[in-house]
Each structure stands twice: as C-alpha cells, then as structure tokens.
Amino acid sequence: MTIARHGRAVIVGTGVAGASAAETLRKEGFAGSIVLVGDDPAAPYRRPMVSKELLSGSVGEEKARLKPAAFWTDKSIELRTGVTVLSFDTASACVELDDGDQLGYDALILATGGRPRRLDLLPEAETLRHLRDAARLRQILDRVGATGAVPSVLVVGGGLVGLEAAAAVRTFGADVVVLETADRVLGRVVPAEVSASYARLHRDRGVRVHTGTRLAAAHNENGRTRVFAEDGREWVADVVIGAVGMTPDTELAVRAGLTVDDGVVVDEFGATSAPGVYAAGDVARLPNRILGGSDRIEHWNHAQAHGAAVAHTILGARVPYEEVPWCWTNQFGRNLQIAGWPGYGTETIVYGDVDAGPFLALTLVEDRLVGVLGVGRPKDVRAAQNLIKNGPYLPRAALAADDLDLVELASAPEQFAASARE
C-alpha cells in the first residue's frame, strides 16, 4: 500500500519508533495529516536516559527531549500526548481515543512499545520505563537522604536496565543490592567473560551482586520492604526496583484481530496482517533476514531505524528491513557497545583486557560472526556490525589473527575469506 499524498497517517505511540516514523514521513515529502498519539503525558524523549542520566540526576528532563517543543508544530505533526487509543477498526479504518475523538486513517502505525514485567512477589516494585519513573525514584531517595540516612535500594534483575539502575543510584550515594536468578548478570546479552567483568565492576564500586538468587517472600515493614530468598537470606530496602524485562504492548492489536506472537507479527516491510496497518519498534516481531526466523528487538537504535523504514514503506518504497541491531550501556563511566546477536554465540574471541582497558569481543556460531561487543573500540564495533550483515561466513583464522584489522576486513570480506582458506 502507498498512502495518498494528502491522506492521513495515524501513529500510536510517542516513543522513538513513532516519532521517527512521523519525522520521516514529513521529511520525505508526505503532505497529508500526521497524528502522533500516545498515553505518555510527556513529549517524545530519549528513553535510554531514564535508567542512566535521569535516574542519577546528571541531566534534567529537558536534555532528554527528543526534539524541541516547536519541532512538532513547525513540521505540522499533530502531537497528542496523554491520550489513550481505546481501539481501532480495520474495516472502517478508524481509531477511537479515550477523549471521545475518532480518527480515520489511510495508514496506521502501531509503535506501542512495551510494558515492564511485574514481580509476582513485589507487584508494587518501582519500574524504569518513563520519565515519571525516574523522577519518582529520585524523590524517594531524596526524601530518605533528607533524614540523614543512606538510602537503600534493592534491584531485582541483573540485565541491562537493572545494572544501569544500580550504577545510577550507587553513583547517587545509595546502598545497593542486585539480585539475579540466573547464574550470571547480563546472561542473555553478553558472553561469560564480559558478564564476569561487569559483575566485578559493580562489586568494586560497592554494589552487592547476588546471582542464582530466587525470591521466596516479601512484606512491608514500617515503610520499607523486607525480601526473603529461598535459601534463607534476606534484605531490607527503602525502595525496590523491578528490572525483569518487558512485555510487548499488543492489546490493541489483539482486539483488532491482528496476528500476534510475542509481538505484532510483521513482514520485512513492517506490514501487519491487516491492510493499511503497520507496526514498528519494540512491539513488532519481524523476520530476521540475516540469521533466519524472527525477532522482537528491544533497542533504541532499532526502534528509531525501524520506525523510519516503516514510514518509507508507507510512502511506496519496497526495501526489506535488514539492519543489524546495535545498542550501548553506560555503567560507572564504562560505555559498552553491542551489535548483532551476541547471545546466540557459542564461542567468544576477546582482544584486549575486559577489565582494565579497551577491548573487543567477537561471538561466533561455528564460523559465523553473530555478535560483537566493545569498550573504547567504536570503529571496530561498527566494522563488525557491517561484517555480520555483509560477510558473516569468515573462517575463524581470519577473525582470530593477532593483527586483526576489522575495518580493513569489513571493506572486502570475500577477499579475506578466500585468503584465509588458502
């Protein structure tokens, strides 16, 4: 489908996927109506900052804004924040809002993102998904600190958001404990060598990290929370942060009868099972045209790129989405860049010292490069990202060479693969 030049595009979700789609539509010459609507009361902002700079207090909310306030007006993009989409009907091509308004559409983009998973034992635990979450946590920590006490924080979940939150509140001066059910932190994201390095980094900064820990019970105790592990250990905290992942927000899609499978299922162009309806970003399950199968990717950069790609599809382009995902995490001043799917890897080749300095880690499945991680090696991470997309089948000898030059290798992967086989 190609939207008429003066048609209407309705985008549900004001995160980066939705904002990127809206901006791309206008940038590429779409002259019709663009309505960007979402239940978040804030104008589009940089969500990765919530668990990092905003929580630590190193930047204010204005710095997190995706665009200046005037941008949306200047681009004739109707931004409607704090408004919930109740439903949409694919037969009449109409969206119903909770303020009573109804919007007809020629193209509809679902960029609804996801919702934090709740802890069964601690359903009231704080989460970190929105600007207001970071602000609320800061207020709690400030209130405890004002009494002269050191705020205590218990983080349940040792993934990216959990460790970022732990680093942020520890930098703020809180006493911090991290509980992770798996045998290592960042287990789904990075190889064991890097996981161990980040556990050491946190422990060296005073964060108490406990892996292999399952919760058995929890209760409120004079305004604080006491948590019990199955092995009898217990902790008391002023605030508990639940960081156990997110679930895609597919409720609208389910009610409308779209195909859903841990995300709204889309094709390589971002189209759903309903004509004129698309999905982008965290909520979309899309074909993995590099490794096969399908993926739902929860990275900021992916959401930004996928939102733009879906906008191009609506405007008539038929270019399959084949981007290799990329993200970063900043903890205690150490910026780790991650590209590809390192969690798929069965072998890791490490260059440099993962604790002391710049390093690069390549993850492989047999002779296939599937992921890369690096600190202080941005050019190499970018080169490896290109290799994953354009030349992943390289003999191990080409990647394990002492004089490895990934930038040169990425410029002509076929040539290096041939020479390595000789």
Amino acid (one-letter) located at 155: V
Question: Would you say residue 328 lies in a domain?
Answer: no
Note the pLDDT tens digit of each residue in 26-48: 999 999 999 999 999 999 999 99
Give phi and psi for 89, each to the nearest 5. Answer: -115, 120
Sign of the torsion formed by the C-alpha atoms of 297, 112, 32 and 313:
positive
Overall domain count for the chain: 3
Last residue of a domain, one of 187, 217, 242: 242
Q: What is the CA radius of gyration of the chain?
A: 23
Based on the number of CB atoms within 10 Å of its own CB, is 3 exposed (0-12), middle (13-18) or buried (19 or more)?
A: buried
Instruction: Give the chain's mean pLDDT.
Output: 93
Is the predicted pLDDT of residue 418 greater than 80, yes or no? no
Is the predicted pLDDT of residue 415 greater than 70, yes or no? no
Note the pLDDT tens digit of each residue in 283-330: 999 999 888 999 999 999 999 999 999 999 999 998 999 999 999 999
Query: Tokens representing 363?
Result: 């993850």
Last residue of a domain, one of 314, 349, 364: 314
Q: Looking at the structure, do residues 363 and 301 belong to the same domain, yes or no? A: no
Which strand (E) or helix (H) includes residue 326? strand 326-331
Q: Looking at the structure, do residues 93 and 126 belong to the same domain, yes or no? A: no
Q: Looking at the structure, do residues 224 and 279 belong to the same domain, yes or no? A: no
Q: Looking at the structure, do residues 78 and 156 belong to the same domain, yes or no? A: no
Q: Looking at the structure, do residues 179 and 235 belong to the same domain, yes or no? A: yes
Which strand (E) or helix (H) includes residue 224? strand 224-229
Query: Tokens representing 421?
Result: 């086989």
Checking 87-91 for CB contacts under 8 A at 24+ apart, the result is 87/252, 87/255, 87/256, 88/12, 88/252, 88/256, 88/277, 89/256, 90/256, 90/257, 90/274, 90/275, 90/276, 90/277
The pLDDT confidence band at residue 422, using thresholds 50, 70 and 90, is very low
Q: Looking at the structure, do residues 217 and 145 belong to the same domain, yes or no? A: yes
Question: What integer pLDDT is reported at residue 420 of this predicted model?
Answer: 47
- ∠56-157-246 over CA atoms, to 5°? 90
Is the predicted pLDDT of residue 119 greater than 70, yes or no? yes
Note the pLDDT tens digit of each residue in 76-88: 999 999 999 999 9
Question: Would you say residue 3 lies in a domain?
Answer: no
Q: What burial letters (b/e) apply to 146-185, b meaning 16+ CB within 10 Å?
A: eeeeebbbbbbbbbbbbbbbbbbbbbbebbbbbbbeeebb
CA 246 to chain CA centroid, Å, is 10
Question: How far apart are alpha carbons 226 and 234 in whole angstroms?
Answer: 7
- Could you tell me the residue range of the domain that residue 341 belongs to? 333-421
CATH number, domain at 349? 3.30.390.30
Question: What integer pLDDT is reported at residue 366 of this predicted model?
Answer: 81
CATH number, domain at 292? 3.50.50.60
Last residue of a domain, one of 220, 242, 264: 242
Question: Would you say residue 417 lies in a domain?
Answer: yes
